[in-house]
């Protein structure tokens, strides 16, 4: 009998990189102006089977961009303007690579779009919260995701060479949508007229020149003859309009964890096998002592415990999304010194130091990443728990919280200034406000305990627990809840959670994730896009797409 070799499982995707290892971006910093040049290596695809032509991108390109944006905020606080441009002749960026999309599993496409969305939002977040202005210097045509990258910037300068245009060709050419926030940004951010957006979204060749300026798709044109001068002048003007945050930056290290079978361990965070199939335990632990002054935090730099812990948590969340698709339920635990967390929260709330404030903004973005992760999260608070302050936000971000209510055990939770709006959600409300949307007085009742520990019974009465079993029922209730959750359809759970997590006001960000992405994900499964003769399937082949004409 001949034994066939079994193909080795693919290596886990890694989200850790550094500028020296970039294959697709060039980062150059000169005084208070930085330049990010898109120079995609056609042979540098994340996996075999497609070529990254015309500065088209895949997840690997966006991983590098996300890393560059993080480093600009922490390592280069003197930078006031970032120029985003390209290196190819007549092409800035052709958008997401079509063959990559066509050959990817649906779940990968969804998570790719989600990560890309978060990276675009990181540009806008840096402008809003860190006074770093972004100039998209389009040295050539920007199509699809390429224009979506541009429109995430504060201003857009387009080269006037009678050839370069901006376009959203997804609908006419691929049967899908500009799914990384494109439709939301031209309406809600640029506030372009609906009828013009309708034309733009169905015009494969796009719009160029004076019409692009007239319609608000770009801000200015610059002739080819003085392109470099125009970019430099515009960047200088934008940089002069804001104050630098600091002078000396903090170098970021690699926070990748160590793998041991299904376990992944970092310094403060761990992912361990859970109590049932398709479950994991995600834990975060605070150290016994940590500096509680801005000077002490800056002295520790990237090793400052809360910065390190939430960078690890961010990596763990991406691990859950991209490398653990079969996991349906994550049990969240928080441990370590509650006093350390509360002291750190006081420092984060005080502000006044660029490094501390950047760390606070990073924590906010990581918590948002948790809000957007398509896994069920159950916070588990039993003996030794430290769901206080910033760690309490992890419980508030979870779909349920199970709290052991046993008078013989010191199970406590705690509130700090961090829970009063330090880390707003995509709806621009705090997690407490979102939790108590119908009873806003309950928010004040919880915040009255700020800075103090709360026993389990009081925490339950304040509404911080979903269920608070005693020690007799604890193990059975938790076991039944876990087994029940993983028995449900994962599609139904993803849809339910995404709806329930975005209560309250609608913002451009909630539109991107709750509306646009939902439609895009639905379209990505429809025969008109990905069927045997769907538009995405047929793109680049001699075959024309064949559509089913029923409108639904």
Radius of gyration of the chain from its Cα atoms, rounded to whole angstroms: 24
Structure tokens at 485: 């959750």
* Residue 297 within any structural domain of the chain: yes
Within this chain, do residues 273 and 417 fall inside the same structural domain, yes or no? Answer: yes
pLDDT tens digits along 434-491:
999 999 999 999 999 998 899 999 999 999 999 999 999 999 999 999 999 999 999 9
* Per-residue pLDDT at 179 exceeds 90: no
pLDDT of residue 112: 94
pLDDT of residue 3: 46
The separation between the first and the last C-alpha atoms of the chain, rounded to the nearest angstrom, is 53
Within this chain, do residues 409 and 461 fall inside the same structural domain, yes or no? Answer: yes
pLDDT tens digits along 66-114:
999 999 999 999 999 999 999 999 999 999 999 999 999 999 999 999 9
- DSSP category for residue 185: I
pLDDT tens digits along 118-172:
999 999 999 999 999 999 999 999 999 999 999 999 999 999 999 999 999 999 9
* Per-residue pLDDT at 293 exceeds 60: yes
pLDDT tens digits along 301-326:
999 999 999 999 999 999 999 999 99
Within this chain, do residues 350 and 226 fall inside the same structural domain, yes or no? Answer: no
- Of the candidates 310, 325, 363, 343, the residue with the CA atom closest to the CA atom of residue 417: 343
In the sheet with 258-260, reading across from the earlier edge strand, the strands are 258-260, 263-265, 269-273, 279-286, 329-336, 376-381, 400-403
Within this chain, do residues 415 and 454 fall inside the same structural domain, yes or no? Answer: yes
Residue 206's contacts (CB-CB under 8 Å, 6 or more residues apart) are 141, 143, 147, 165, 166, 167, 168, 169, 200
* Residue 337 within any structural domain of the chain: yes
* Residue 462 within any structural domain of the chain: yes
* Residue 252 within any structural domain of the chain: no
Residue 451's contacts (CB-CB under 8 Å, 6 or more residues apart) are 342, 346, 415, 416, 417
* Residue 111 within any structural domain of the chain: yes
Within this chain, do residues 48 and 141 fall inside the same structural domain, yes or no? Answer: yes
Q: Which domain holds residue 468?
A: 258-496
Give residue for tokens 């990443």.
369
Report pTM: 0.95
* Residue 552 within any structural domain of the chain: no
Within this chain, do residues 222 and 307 fall inside the same structural domain, yes or no? Answer: no
Within this chain, do residues 269 and 142 fall inside the same structural domain, yes or no? Answer: no
Q: Which of 496, 526, 547 is the last residue before a domain boundary?
A: 496
Mean pLDDT for the stretch of residues 276-298 = 92
pLDDT of residue 195: 97
Within this chain, do residues 121 and 268 fall inside the same structural domain, yes or no? Answer: no
Q: Which of 496, 514, 546 is the last residue before a domain boundary?
A: 496
> Rounded distance, CA 29 to CA 33, Å?
6
pLDDT tens digits along 481-492:
999 999 999 999
Half-sphere exposure of 257 (CA within 13 A, CB side): 28
* Residue 185 within any structural domain of the chain: yes
Pairing of strands 133-138, 81-86: parallel
> Rounded distance, CA 332 to CA 316, Å?
12
pLDDT tens digits along 371-421:
999 999 999 999 999 999 999 999 999 999 999 998 888 899 999 999 999
**pLDDT band for position 8 (50/70/90)?**
low
Q: How many domains does the chain have?
A: 2
What kind and span of H or E run contains 342? Answer: helix 338-350
pLDDT of residue 1: 43
Mean pLDDT for the stretch of residues 239-252 = 93
Within this chain, do residues 171 and 61 fall inside the same structural domain, yes or no? Answer: yes
Within this chain, do residues 184 and 262 fall inside the same structural domain, yes or no? Answer: no
Whether 51 contacts 226, CB under 8 Å: no
Mean pLDDT for the stretch of residues 213-219 = 98
* Residue 125 within any structural domain of the chain: yes
Burial class (CB in 10 A: 0-12, 13-18, 19+), 389: buried
pLDDT of residue 2: 47
The domain spanning residue 217 has which CATH number? 3.90.226.10
Within this chain, do residues 194 and 300 fall inside the same structural domain, yes or no? Answer: no
Mean pLDDT for the stretch of residues 337-342 = 95
**pLDDT band for position 9 (50/70/90)?**
low
Within this chain, do residues 155 and 270 fall inside the same structural domain, yes or no? Answer: no
Q: Which of 240, 273, 293 is the last residue before a domain boundary?
A: 240
**Angle made by CA atoms 184, 190, 196, in degrees to the nearest 5:** 80
Whether 371 contacts 363, CB under 8 Å: no
């Amino acid at each position: 009998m001949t034994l066939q070799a079994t193909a080795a499982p693919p290596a886990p995707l890694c989200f850790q990189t550094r500028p020296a290892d970039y294959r697709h971006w060039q980062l150059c910093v000169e005084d208070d102006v930085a330049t990010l040049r898109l120079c995609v290596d056609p042979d540098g695809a994340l996996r075999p089977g497609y070529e990254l032509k015309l500065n088209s991108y895949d997840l690997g390109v966006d991983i590098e961009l996300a890393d560059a944006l993080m480093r600009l905020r922490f390592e280069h606080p003197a930078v006031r303007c970032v120029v985003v441009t390209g290196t190819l002749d007549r092409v800035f960026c052709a958008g997401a690579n079509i063959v990559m999309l066509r050959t990817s599993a649906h779940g990968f496409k969804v998570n790719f779009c989600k990560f890309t969305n978060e990276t675009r939002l990181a540009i806008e977040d840096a402008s809003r919260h860190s006074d770093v202005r972004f100039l998209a210097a389009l040295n050539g045509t920007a199509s699809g995701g390429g224009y979506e990258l541009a429109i995430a910037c504060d201003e857009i300068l387009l080269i006037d060479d009678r050839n370069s245009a901006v376009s959203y060709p997804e609908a006419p050419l691929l049967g899908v949508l500009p799914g990384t926030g494109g439709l939301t940004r031209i309406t809600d951010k640029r506030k372009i007229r609906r009828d013009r957006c309708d034309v733009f979204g169905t015009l494969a060749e796009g719009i160029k020149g004076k019409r692009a300026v007239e319609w608000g798709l770009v801000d200015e044109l610059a002739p080819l003859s003085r392109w470099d001068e125009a970019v430099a002048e515009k960047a200088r003007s934008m940089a002069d309009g804001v104050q630098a945050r600091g002078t000396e930056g903090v170098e970021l290290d690699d926070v990748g964890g160590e793998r041991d079978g299904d376990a992944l361990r970092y310094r403060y965070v761990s992912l361990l096998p859970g109590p049932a199939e398709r479950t994991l335990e995600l834990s975060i632990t605070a150290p016994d002592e940590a500096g509680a002054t801005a000077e002490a935090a800056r002295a520790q730099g990237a090793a400052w415990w809360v910065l390190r812990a939430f960078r690890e948590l961010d990596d763990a969340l991406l691990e859950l999304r991209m490398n653990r698709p079969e996991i349906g339920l994550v049990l969240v635990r928080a441990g370590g010194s509650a006093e350390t967390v509360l002291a750190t929260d006081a420092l984060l709330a005080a502000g006044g130091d660029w490094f501390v404030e950047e760390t606070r903004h990073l924590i906010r973005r990581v918590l948002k990443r948790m809000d957007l992760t398509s896994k069920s999260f159950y916070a588990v608070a039993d003996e030794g728990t430290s769901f206080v302050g910033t760690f309490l936000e992890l419980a508030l971000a979870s779909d349920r919280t199970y709290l052991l209510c046993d008078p013989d055990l010191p199970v406590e939770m705690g509130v700090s200034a961090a829970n009063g709006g330090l880390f707003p959600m995509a709806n621009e409300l705090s997690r407490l406000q979102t939790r108590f949307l119908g009873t806003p007085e309950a928010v004040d009742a919880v915040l009255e305990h700020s800075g103090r520990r709360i026993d389990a019974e009081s925490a339950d009465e304040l509404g911080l627990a979903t269920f608070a079993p005693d020690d007799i029922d604890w193990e059975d209730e938790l076991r039944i809840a876990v087994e029940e959750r993983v028995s449900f359809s994962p599609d139904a759970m993803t849809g339910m959670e995404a709806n329930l997590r975005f209560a309250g006001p609608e913002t451009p960000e909630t539109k991107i994730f709750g509306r646009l992405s939902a439609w895009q994900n639905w379209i990505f499964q429809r025969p008109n896009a990905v069927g045997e003769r769907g538009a995405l399937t047929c793109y680049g082949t001699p075959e024309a797409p064949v559509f089913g004409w029923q409108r639904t």
